[in-house]
Amino acid sequence: MEFNRVVGTRRSIRFFKSWRPVERSKIQVMFEAANRASRSMNADYFRAIVVNRDDLDAETRDALRNPTTTADLDLAPTYIFWYIDLDYVAGAQDRLKELVDQHALPAAHGWSKAYVDDFLWPQVLEPISKDLNAVIFMGAVETGIAICNAINAAVDQGLGTCMHAFTANDTVKPLLGVPDTWLPVWLQLVGYPAEEPEAGGQRPRRPLSTLFFEGSCDHPWDEDPEVTEQLTREGMIQEPGPFPYRAQEVRMLSRMYGLPE
Amino acid sequence: MIDALDVGHHATTPPQPVGAAEGSDPADPFDGSPAVRRWLEQMGDRDPAEQASDVSLLRRFCAAELTTPDELVARCLRSTKSGDTAISAAGRRATDQAITAFAATEGLSGREAIVLGNRLRSFLIHNGIFLQGPASIL
């Protein structure tokens, strides 16, 4: 799928083909996409554990359920538990110098190994590593970037996915052997969509002019209609929801799975 | 035992008044219940027989729990220190468990129990109580 269409086709899929497992190869593609994501300090901010629903015994599956996350876990065949590793700053000094060696951080932009060793590490990064609020803030931003790549990789492979609040950490942590330094971020459900991939049409978004500005906040972004038209042709902008049959689609899926209407 | 009418969504009961299956009764908590009205309005256009079946089911559940529809919703709520109304995790969990238990007392299991429980959860959901029941995937 072309990039613009991947971005435009992404939806939060909530009805999965519960009977169809996700190929391990497709999960690897998602992980590699996440691993290729932009990241400051070339640090490894995130960790993820993939678990297939049908590999869990009944007792474990029940332990993961709670009144707000039950149908989700039944329908999705694959769960990815995403975390921030709060120790991500460890090793940043060496990784930054590695980037200096690779000329990714060149002298042309002020970088040197001496700067990393003598100033950046002792005066900036090490202090940040001791400020939990800063660690969580940076970790959340950078982990989100990685997850975004994983989401788009899932869509590109015909998978559906949806991010969910992490509601059962007390159960998940001992069950999956999660280290104390890992902070839960999102539970990503993955599977083949039982609903149409369009899931009733593209979700409402506000105009670019309400979110983006040019030069200063006094000048909202002025859309070029030709670009908008191009993006429509290429699938980034798609037919808005709800499709006329969306309510019926959801009703029929709910009945198939015995869910509330 | 429950009759077939109340198991699925495809029953063929004749349309009945929303509030009471056997005529209006001023003492009937279903008559004029804001929670029941809200539920049915939010569900949208539906087969009147299905609607009557769902109300009948809720009526039986409330009878079993010795409560009214509006009190059932209130059980899942709590007041915060600042005076706001919030969802009570404990109340919601207890009500969810009561729903599951009710399906069992009706002699149901498997998909039938899931469907019945989720029909009751629908009442709470449309009254603002975020709640998920199991899906029937076997």
Q: Is residue B47 part of a domain?
A: yes
**Residue pairs spanning A and B at CB distance below 8 A:** 52
B10, part of any domain: no
Minimum distance, in Å, between the CA of residue A193 and any CA atom of chain B: 14
Subunit contact B137:A74, Cβ cutoff 8 A: yes
Q: Give the domain extent around B93.
A: 30-76+86-125
Q: Which residue carries 């800063």 as its tokens?
A: A134
Q: Are the CB atoms for B102 and B61 separated by under 8 Å? A: yes
Interface contact A258-B121, CB threshold 8 A: no
**Which residues in chain B have their CB less than 8 angstroms from residue A242's CB?**
none
Examine residue A242 and say whether the peptide bond preceding it is cis (omega within 30 degrees of 0). yes
The tokens for A71 are 């149908």
The per-residue pLDDT for B86 is 96
Q: Quote the pLDDT of residue B7.
A: 38
Q: pLDDT tens, A197-209?
A: 999 999 999 999 9
Of the candidates B129, B133, B136, the residue with the CA atom closest to the CA atom of residue B42: B129
Mean pLDDT of chain A: 96
Residue B63 makes CB contacts below 8 A (sequence gap 6+) with none
Closest CB from B89, B92, B132 relative to A72: B132
pLDDT score at B25: 66
Q: Do residues B78 and B91 lie in contact, with contact meaning Cβ atoms separated by under 8 Å?
A: yes
Q: How many domains is chain B built from?
A: 1
In a domain, B43, yes or no: yes
- pLDDT averaged over consecutive 10-residue blocks of chain B (138 residues)? 38 39 65 94 90 96 97 97 95 96 95 97 97 93
> Min CA distance, B134 vs chain A (Å)?
5
ipTM tops 0.85: no
> Residue A71 is nearest to which of B92, B96, B133, comparing CB atoms?
B133
Q: Tell if the CB–CB gap between B119 and A260 is shorter than 8 Å.
A: yes
> Considering the entire predicted model, what is its pTM?
0.88
Residue B42 lies in a domain: yes
Nearest chain A Cα to B51, which residue?
A261
Nearest-10 crossing angle of helices B48-65, B110-125: 90
Helix ranges (H only) for A82-238 are 92-101, 113-115, 126-129, 132-156, 169-176, 208-211, 225-233
Cβ contact A34:A149 at 8 Å: yes
- CATH of region A3-194: 3.40.109.10
- In chain A, where the domains are located: 3-194
- Indicate yes or no: CB of B131 within 8 angstroms of CB of A67: yes
Say how far apart CA B135 and CA A75 lie, in whole Å. Answer: 7
